[in-house]
Amino acid sequence: MISTSLSHIASVLGGRLVLRGDDTPETTVSGLIDTDSRLIEPGGIFVAKPGETTDGHLFVPAAIERGAVLALVERELDQPVSQVVVPDVVEALGELARDVVARVRATGNLRIVGITGSNGKTTTKNLLARILEDEGSTVAPRASFNNEVGAPLTMLRVTDDTRFLVSEFGASAPGAIARLAGLVTPDIGVVLMVGMAHAGGFGGIESTFHAKSELVRATREGGLAVLNADDPRVAAMEPLARERGQEVRWFGRGERAQVRALDVEVSASGTRAQLVVDGEEHTLELRVLGEHHVMNALAAIAAATALGVTAEEAIARLSTVELAERWRMQPLGSERVRIINDAYNASPDSMSAALRTLAQITGPDERTVAVLGAMSELGEYADEEHDRVGLLAVRLRIQRIVVIGQDARRMYLEAIAQGSWDGEAVFFPDADSAYDYLRNELRDGDRVLVKSSNSAGLRFLGDRLGESFA
């Protein structure tokens, strides 16, 4: 964080400043901010966030031991560290981020890109950050820091030297993206897709559309909207962008897109695509597995070239990316038994894309094995969408379908109902029993996809299988 006095922090947050030791109102702090006491470094600021199972205020002593010089709290503590007492530390975290980014932006050097979409946010964020980091100091979220805590923590990492801030915005509820993006008013807003992820919480796909369009509304007037020309709901955001005087830059597979992919070839080693960027042809060699990641690359290229990076430079930098993120189409195991661990998140769209990738990268003498868990946050659509996945796995002729957990059982039942040969699908109540089965079942030449939502915990099963067959 940029150097800031204690009195300024208290004033911005409307909080009460409690001084300890030799601190005065004009004492400045500039360390990193975190809600996890284990990650605090000397000079850092600890945010004592109340949680569902514990209370961050209990960890203030641990943060002090690690070198915290300021605590953001909701009640004054008898601890030897200066404190700013506020009614709500999460809300205060956002307001501090707003202030810090505004002050850095006032120097005229900072450009801000916001990214949202039902799928692909984290991959696109990482691809864009990889392109921009060679242009200048770039701040981007760790992992999927895209909520009311993670997004501000990322924003607070900017300094006077930062040239690019790439923010990822998730939507836990209607209005969430508007609040988060409103903290920084991006220069460029990237909308990837509107799908069924979180549809249960939003009340349907149209509500999801309105939630994702909040980013276009929050992008600054006269800025740039980077939109998916292939997604009708995203394309329908164009009038919103025009109302705000924003230029629209399209990406996709159709001729409308200024940044588009033509021929796409998928293999076990990555994806190759012929691109047209503003009328000029290029070849993209992407090591990240999956045809669906080509669209994420197109979005990153569209944003980067709008920021002055040449298409040649952007594409060359993308070729160096070996992994989008841990637990996202992550290759594990060995050439003998290849494990693809994609179990950090799952929606009907990403589940379909992952299964299609498995089918595409498996050779005629190899066997496809899909290890599947539940997709969360689908609400009333859960049964129907899990049925669809089971049906798709059969239609793609996945040779072994291993379904884990009661919430995913309908995938198994649909696969059994639609399958045409015995033993194609099996069901296990938990990951441990599935591991025991897979440890004995998998054989040379198997290509194994592990896919589920984060809450199902199958990412750890993927890791175990990767170690077993390394």
Residue at which a domain ends, from 71, 86, 101: 86
In a domain, 324, yes or no: no
The answer on 343 and 298 residing in a single domain is: no
236 close to 199: Cβ distance less than 8 angstroms: no
Residue 131 lies in a domain: yes
Same domain? For 190 and 291 the reply is: yes
* Same-domain pairing of 270 and 342: no
457 and 362 within one domain? yes
Any domain includes 187 = yes
Residues of 394-405 as b/e, b for ≥16 C-beta within 10 angstroms?
bebebbbbbbbb
Within this chain, do residues 385 and 281 fall inside the same structural domain, yes or no?
no
For residue 65, what pLDDT is reported? 97
CATH code of 464's domain: 3.90.190.20
Give this prediction's pTM. 0.88
Report yes or no on 148 lying in a domain.
yes
Residues 185 and 61 in one domain: no
Looking at residue 143, what is its pLDDT?
A: 75
- Check residue 267 and give its pLDDT: 87
Say yes or no: 178 and 76 in one domain: no
Split into its structural domains, the chain has a count of 3
Q: Is residue 336 part of a domain?
A: yes
Q: Which amino acid, 123? A: T
Residue 199's pLDDT is what? 57
Domain boundary among 28, 54, 86: 86
Q: 303 and 336, same structural domain?
A: no
Does residue 325 lie in a domain region? no
User: Residue 422's pLDDT is what?
Assistant: 67
**Cβ burial, residue 75 (10 Å; 0-12/13-18/19+):** exposed
For residue 209, give the CATH number of its domain. Answer: 3.40.1190.10
Tens of each residue's pLDDT in the chain, 470 residues: 899 999 999 999 999 999 999 999 999 999 999 999 999 999 999 999 998 788 999 999 999 999 999 999 999 999 999 999 999 999 999 999 999 999 999 988 899 999 999 889 999 999 999 999 999 999 999 877 889 999 999 999 999 999 999 999 987 778 999 999 999 999 999 999 997 655 555 667 788 888 899 999 999 999 999 999 999 999 999 999 999 999 999 999 999 999 999 999 988 888 999 999 999 999 999 998 888 899 999 999 999 999 999 999 999 999 999 887 788 889 999 989 999 999 988 889 899 999 999 999 998 999 999 999 999 888 888 999 999 999 999 999 999 999 999 999 999 999 999 875 667 899 999 999 999 999 999 999 999 999 999 889 899 999 999 999 98
Domain boundary pick from 42, 68, 86? 86
Is the same domain home to 80 and 108?
no
User: Do 61 and 138 lie in a common domain?
Assistant: no
Please report whether residue 34 resides in a domain.
yes
Same domain, 307 and 362: no
Find out whether 132 and 81 touch, Cβ atoms under 8 Å: no
Which domain does 70 fall in, by range? 4-86
Q: What is the pLDDT of residue 28?
A: 97
Q: What are the pLDDT digits (tens) for 356-406? A: 999 999 989 999 999 999 998 888 889 999 999 999 999 999 999 999 999
CATH code, domain with 10: 3.40.1390.10
pLDDT confidence of residue 138: 98
pLDDT at 202: 60
Q: What is the pLDDT of residue 76?
A: 97
323 assigned to some structural domain = no
**Does residue 150 share a domain with residue 245?**
yes
Which two three-digit tokens encode residue 279? 């009328």
Specify the residue for token string 């069901």: 427
